[in-house]
Amino acid sequence: MLRIRFHGRGGQGTKIASRLVGTAAFLDGLYAQDFPLYGAERRGAPITAFTRISREPILERGVISEPDILIIMDETLLDDPMAMPLTGLKEDGVIFLNTTHSPAEAKNRYKIKAQIITLDITKIGIDTLGKPILSTLAGGVASKIAGIREDSLKKAIEKELSEIITDSELIKKNIEASLYCFNIIKPVEVKTSEITHKGSTVISVPFEAASISTPSVNTAGNIPLRKTGNWRTFKPIFNYELCNKCMICVARCPDGCIAVRNERGFPSIDYDNCKGCLICIDECPVHAIEKVREVHTW
């Protein structure tokens, strides 16, 4: 059985990527199962999805804690203690990382032992689809690594996208972009091995007083410590020569990231927390804000 785990951010297409691989494997005549995990999901937040592919009926459910293949659609997740995408990867597993860097650079930077494949699929998405939406691109990459036939991938994209997109031109572009990714990735051998983590000893849970055992938090709130700046794909940048200080951007920023912090009275952006939603660009009446693609690496 091949166990594939996808990590991305809300809005990138993580769930659809896992579905494409599931449907493609199913069309290839294999047993398949796919499943996203999300709770209070929202654009930008870490998302995980899973696909299992097997020649035998699948007697597993729920999260994949020991993947054979890891598809990391957003490099910034590697530094996110809430996501920890490398957790549980098998030693002979394969990682795909969406990055501008080479496999050797990524291996060195993130201390990865496993086989690693890299490709800047964000750039491919922007160039071919006009948006950093990665579902079909990551699906193409994952299908290649999983050894799925090109034709099954193509049919899977047609099927899955026609349920959510009405624009047939956009579906065609997605197929082209996905097959481009599929074909640019060299075939790899994924050695599947059995799950080694069997779980630890069962213990007797002791009684604890209500001061400990109630679902309450006694520490001060820590939301300000959780920076969301690395959610961005595009960075909004002010051009103060055009800015007329109308403050519409200040009012419209949904996260309160824009404020007047300098003596000249111009608004500025708190980049530690700006999620890159780009509402400010849409709202600015004098077009004083531009967007620049940001690569959050070293």
Partner 1 sequence: MVAKKEMLTGNSSAAWGVRLAEIDYIPAYPITPQTEIIETLAKWISDGVMDTRMVTMDSEHSMITAAGAASATGVRAFTATSSQGLLYGFEMLYTVAGWRVPLVMVNVSRGLSAPITLEPDHNDILSARDSGFLQIHCETCQEVLDSILIAYRLAEDERVLLPVLVNMDGFHLSFTREPVEIPDIEDVRRFLPTYNPKHAFFKASQPMAQGIAVLGGPIYSYFKYQMHLACMKGLEVYKEISKEFEKVFHRSYDTVEKYMTDDADYILIMTNSFSTLGKAAVKRARERGIKIGLLKLRLLRPFPEEDLKNAIKGCKAVAVLDQNIGVGKGGILYPEIASTIYNEQKRPVLLSFIGGLGGKNISESEFDFIFDNMIKAAETGKAPAPQLLYTETEWNEMEKLKKMAGKPIFW
Which positions touch partner 1 (CB under 8 A)?
19, 22-23, 26, 31-37, 39, 58-63, 65, 195, 197-205, 209, 211-212, 215-219
Residue 31 vs 266, nearer CB to partner 1: 31
Least Å from the CB of residue 186 to partner 1: 28
Closest to partner 1 by CB, 28 or 75: 28
The two tokens of residue 116 are 């690693």
Angle among Cα 1, 93, 76 to the nearest 5 degrees reads 120
Q: Which is nearer to partner 1, 26 or 180 (CB)?
A: 26
CA neighbor of 1 nearest in space, from 60, 49, 48: 60
Of 20 and 288, which CB lies nearer to partner 1 in the complex structure?
20
Question: How far apart are CB 78 and partner 1 at their closest, in Å?
Answer: 21
Min separation Cβ 40 and partner 1, Å: 9
What is the smallest separation between the CB atom of 159 and partner 1, expressed in angstroms?
9
The least distance separating partner 1 from the CB of residue 225, rounded to whole angstroms, comes to 12
Dihedral angle of Cα 178, 180, 184, 187, to the nearest 10 degrees: 50
CA distances from 101 to 81, 104, 179, 202, 220 (A): 22, 8, 22, 44, 39
Query: Given the complex with partner 1, which of 32 and 145 has the nearer CB atom?
Result: 32
Q: Is 51 helix (H, G, I), strand (E, B) or coil?
A: strand
Asked if 254 contacts 279 with a C-beta cutoff of 8 angstroms, the reply is: yes
